[in-house]
Copies of this chain bind each other. A is one copy, B any other.
Amino acid sequence: MTDQTDLRLTPQRMAVLEVLRAADDHPTAAEVYERVRRASPGIGSATVYRTLALLVSTGRALELTLGDGAAARYDANTRRHDHAVCDGCGRAVDLDHPVPDGMMAEIARRSGFAITGYDLQFRGLCPDCQGSDRQTTPSEGALHAEA
């Protein structure tokens, strides 16, 4: 994406990137801040927010809004991928299943948009929540239920 020069790799930025790479649960900015503080107790929240924005803008991380109305989440996996979000426990897992190019072209043709990307989240119940049936608030009708 944008050029990767002009980016000073300070200890604080390294710490944020490390936390993001070590996480497999798509942490929110507040969670990243909390984890970074364990390694670098003196770091400020503004620095974490700034660094996350920087990592996103330079293509080193992805910002996700998982449609639950909550805070943005971050993902160090910058390969093209989608997400499945569990209505029971809120967990989000990565999916490798790109939208077919033909579908993108069809959308572009019908809407007149010059499509540059998309954002796709499936919702449902993860295997754990299906088994234990510990579905708390199924956010019924939240966005696009009963597809």
Contacts and interface: CB of A to CB of B under 8 A. Distances in A.
Interface residues of A, number: 56
B108 A124 contact: yes
B124 A115 contact: yes
A124 B119 contact: no
A118 B115 CA distance: 19
Given A119-B120, A124-B113, A103 B107 contact: no
23 contacts: A2-B141, A57-B140, A63-B142, A65-B65, A65-B68, A65-B143, A80-B144, A86-B113, A87-B116, A95-B107, A95-B110, A98-B147, A107-B122, A112-B126, A113-B126, A116-B125, A117-B123, A117-B124, A118-B122, A119-B120, A119-B121, A119-B123, A120-B120
- For the complex of A and B, the 6 pairs showing the least CB-CB separation, nearest first, are A115-B124, A112-B127, A117-B147, A117-B144, A114-B125, A113-B124
